[in-house]
Chain A
Amino acid sequence: GENVEQHPSTLSVQEGDSAVIKCTYSDSASNYFPWYKQELGKRPQLIIDIRSNVGEKKDQRIAVTLNKTAKHFSLHITETQPEDSAVYFCAASRKAAGNKLTFGGGTRVLVKP
Chain B
Amino acid sequence: IAGITQAPTSQILAAGRRMTLRCTQDMRHNAMYWYRQDLGLGLRLIHYSNTAGTTGKGEVPDGYSVSRANTDDFPLTLASAVPSQTSVYFCASSERGAATDTQYFGPGTRLTVL
Q: In the complex, which residue of chain B has the Cβ closest to the Cβ of A89?
A: B42
Q: A43-B107, A44-B90 are in contact. Are A100 and B45 (CB under 8 A)?
A: yes
Task: Report yes or no: B48 in contact with A104, Cβ–Cβ below 8 A.
Answer: no
Which residue of B40, B100, B106 is within 8 Å of A9 (Cβ)?
A: B40
Which of A6, A95, A100 makes the CB contact (< 8 A) with B42? A6
| A residues near B98, Cβ cutoff 8 Å | 98-99
Residues in B with CB closer than 8 Å to A91 are 43
- Residue in B41, B102, B108 whose beta carbon sits within 8 Å of that of A34 in the complex: B102
Among A43, A97, A106, the residue within 8 A (CB) of B99 is A97
List B contacts of A99 (CB < 8 A).
31, 33, 48, 94, 96-101, 103
Q: Which residues of A contact B94 (CB under 8 A)?
A: 99
Q: How many interface residues does A have (CB within 8 Å)?
A: 29
In the complex, the answer to whether A101 meets B103 with C-beta atoms within 8 Å is: yes
Pick the residue among B42, B101, B108 that contacts A103 (CB under 8 A).
B42
Q: Which residues from chain A contact B96 at a C-beta distance below 8 Å?
A: 99
B100 and A49 contacting across the interface, CB-CB below 8 Å: yes
- A32 with B45, Cβ < 8 A, contacts A99-B31, A106-B40 known: no
Residues B100 and A105 in contact, CB atoms below 8 Å apart: no
**10 A-B Cβ contacts within 8 A?**
A9-B40, A32-B100, A42-B107, A43-B107, A49-B100, A49-B102, A99-B31, A99-B33, A100-B58, A102-B59
